[in-house]
Amino acid sequence: MENDFKEVSENYTIAEAVREAQRCLHCKVPGCKKGCPISNDIPDWIAELAKGNFGNAMKIIHGRSNLPAVCGRVCGHERQCEGNCVLAKKGAHINIGKLERFVADFDSSACLTHEAIPEKSRGRVAVIGSGPAGLTIAGDLSRQGFAVEIFEMESEPGGVLQYGIPEYRLPKEVVRREIKKIENLGVVFHLNTTVGENFTIDDLFAQGFDAIFMGTGTGVPKRLSIPGINHPAVRQAIRFLRRVSLYESGSISRDEVIVGNGDRVFVIGCGNTAIDAARTALRMGSAEVNVVYHRTVNEMSALRAEYDDAVAEGVNFLWNSSIIEIEGGDDDRLRSVLLETKMEDGSTEQHRMDADHVVMAVGSSPAARIVSTTDGIEVDERGYVLTREEPYGMSTRPGVFAGGDVTNRPATVVHAMRDAKQVAESIARYIDAVKLLQIINQ
Ligand code: SF4
């Protein structure tokens, strides 16, 4: 397990993929499509795949998704397409996620499809942030004839796909390939560029952009108020995962990751980020990893499949439990944590456990960089950007749109994509309308 960041799930061979696709019943009213947040035309591309027409399958998928190799790997299929497949009732749903991954990977390695780059004549759009929402906006609008430029603060694009989801679930090479396809549509990437620091939204409008999309996500982790929480051995999961990702890519040394090497680690929270942090801590050589959650297994927000894998790999789960005190030790390490567990009869029990590190995965909220340097963008009391229903996704500043986590609507990669698809349509309509008015008023 230690240092084994190789992708956990194996891809289909051609024969396996075609055989699996041939099991599909091509239902008249396909539950799979209904269950997919971006209404992927699943039966249609599975039908092409079943006939061996991989290129056609890819074209159909691209009609709805800019990131199929990502979705095929990290979507919650059990709750979405596969959970709604008619064959799921017999416990034999079509493995839609694995098939989507197969088509996308096959297309990339065989260079099967080449999308024509449309003429960029409808307007200019600046996209801030290159996570799932930003990439979706860029792909959709670029295909519709808009010139799109992405501004990304990191040295590599992808946001949470690049720095948040661990390599064993989503290899960075896959993310790079998907982004390359979006770049091939004519999208321009500006890396190491922080809007709100290097320049402002007003500067972008002055440069001639017709609309701006904020897909800046939630980069400020939430903190709990527990005695000892400020000790340096208490880390934020998103920062820990980012460091491991940088270490994996050779950008920082092993020493700079810190967690691992025989440590006893406690992860607070039980969403997908918590599970990612726990499984990553094991891969960094931790001797013992405990996930501490104040509710039960049935109330966790993590995907069941991720939880099952974590259990199989040796992660312990402490249900109905909270850390109520953190005792610091020497050398950037802890000594122990004090846990409180709710018992079935409603009473509580406390016990102390030896600990070296605590990793917090209790959510995050948006940074204020952009809104604090721009007039007219209102946020709610927690810093999420307020947007309208009409034009969908537009903030209180005309021409500035927002989507993805920064608006507090979506919860997963594919939900951020669904939201962004709607915002992309809205941006296109907005720019067309503004340009039409300009012509009428000339
Ligand atoms: Fe095929 Fe299942 Fe979708 Fe029916 S619901 S079309 S069997 S994948």
- Asked whether 42 lines ligand 1 (CB < 6 A), one says yes
Hey, which of 27, 39, 84, 95 would you mutate to test ligand 1's pocket, going by the most ligand atoms within 8 Å of its Cβ?
Answer: 27
Using the predicted structure, report yes or no on whether residue 3 has a pLDDT greater than 70: no
| CA atoms of 80 and 125, how far apart (whole Å) | 32
What confidence score (pLDDT) does residue 426 get?
98
Higher local confidence (pLDDT), 116 or 198: 198
Give residue 217's region: left, alpha or beta (phi > 0; psi -120 to 50): left
Rg of the chain on CA atoms, in Å:
23
- The model carries a pTM of 0.89
Q: How far apart are CA 116 and CA 143, in angstroms?
A: 9
Q: Show the 3-state SS of 108-163.
A: HHHCCCCCCCCCCCCCEEEEECCCHHHHHHHHHHHHCCCEEEEECCCCCCCCHHHH
pLDDT at 330: 79
The H helix count followed by the E strand count for the chain is 15, 15
8-state DSSP, 127: E
Pocket test for ligand 1, best of 22, 25, 33, 44 (most atoms within 8 A of CB): 25
CB–CB of 5/245 below 8 Å? Answer: no
86: Cβ below 6 Å to ligand 1?
A: yes
Per DSSP, 323 falls in state E
DSSP category for residue 250: T
Residue-wise pLDDT for 170-196, tens only, equals 999 999 999 999 999 999 999 999 999
Q: Which of 365, 385, 372 is nearest to 196 (CA)?
A: 372
Give residue 26 CA to ligand 1 midpoint distance, Å. Answer: 6
201 backbone dihedrals φ, ψ, rounded to 5°: -60, -40
**Cβ-based neighbour number of residue 288 at 10 Å:** 18
Contact 49, 17 (CB under 8 A): yes
Atom of ligand 1 nearest to the CA of 24: 1
Tokens 């948006």 -> residue: 366
Return the axis-axis angle of helices 172-183 and 96-110, rounded to nearest 10°.
60
Q: Say if strands 321-328 and 147-151 run parallel, antiparallel, or are unpaired.
A: unpaired
For residue 397, the CA-to-ligand 1 centroid distance in Å is: 43
Residue 5 has pLDDT above 80, yes or no: no
pLDDT of residue 410: 59
Could you read off the pLDDT of 41-55 as tens digits, one per residue? 999 999 999 999 999
For ligand 1, whether the C-beta of 81 sits within 6 Å is no
Confidence of residue 34 (pLDDT cuts 50, 70, 90): very high
Whole-angstrom distance, CA of residue 424 vs CA of residue 209 = 15
- Whether 237 lines ligand 1, by a CB cut-off of 6 Å, is no
pLDDT at 242 over 90: yes
In whole angstroms, how far apart are CA 325 and each of 113, 335, 359, 427? 56, 11, 14, 49
What does the pLDDT read at residue 103?
97
16 CA → ligand 1 middle, Å: 17
Task: State the DSSP code for 36.
Answer: S
The closest alpha carbon to 141, from 423, 435, 418, belongs to 423
Q: What is the Cα–Cα distance from 361 to 114, expressed in whole angstroms? A: 40
Q: What is the mean pLDDT of residues 417-437?
A: 96
